[in-house]
Amino acid sequence: MMGTRGHIAVTALALACGWMSAAGAGRPPQQAQNRSAAGPDLKQAQAEPNLDKRSKLALESADTAFETMKAAYEKGENTQVAAAATEIQQSVELAYTSLTQTGKDPRKSPKWFKRAEIQTRDLLRRLDSFQHDMSFGDRSMLDSVKTSVQQVHDNLLMGLMEGKHK
């Protein structure tokens, strides 16, 4: 059984490690950051000359657009929701085309491809959850975005998992 001193020591240790900050008590420091902070936008991603980094910036732009879309929906601004959904779709497509333009084989150098696959999978889950939280009449505006992101995710996964070319 732990006394008061034990609880204070554990709390002090957690604060020293950065696990309990005011922004995100109980979450690791990476997740405690404010996600609604302005991330890269699609234009910044398009301007990146390195194709691998361009794909990373494009997917970060999609995450930022998703947060913007959620905030706009909570305010009832459906035109901004539609614009953010379009930006998500364009960002994911830019990430995929950037990766394919590198000419790299996803099986031989999977680093950026796997990151993109993981991020698109997480984005799909978040889109699905958000769509279920929306009112029934508004859900259809995310169907095309989810289909597009699912297609990119499937293509990335197939590139990583397929066997040798015959």
In whole angstroms, give the CA distance from residue 37 to residue 78. Answer: 21
Contact 61, 91 (CB under 8 A): yes
**pLDDT for 60:** 95
Whether pLDDT at 115 is above 50? yes
Which 8-state DSSP code applies to residue 138?
A: G
Residue 42's pLDDT is 84
> Tens of pLDDT along 25-42?
444 444 333 334 466 788
**In this predicted structure, which of 26-35, 39-48, 113-122 has the lowest mean pLDDT?**
26-35
Structure tokens at 150: 């699912």
- Rounded Cα distance between 111 and 142, Å, is 29
pLDDT for 13 equals 42
Query: Cβ distance 68 to 84 under 8 Å?
Result: yes
Q: Report the 10 Å Cβ neighbour count for 161.
A: 10
Query: Would you state the torsion angle of the CA atoms of residues 135, 137, 143, 146, taken in this order, to the nearest 10 degrees?
Result: -10
Distance CA 18, CA 111 (A): 29
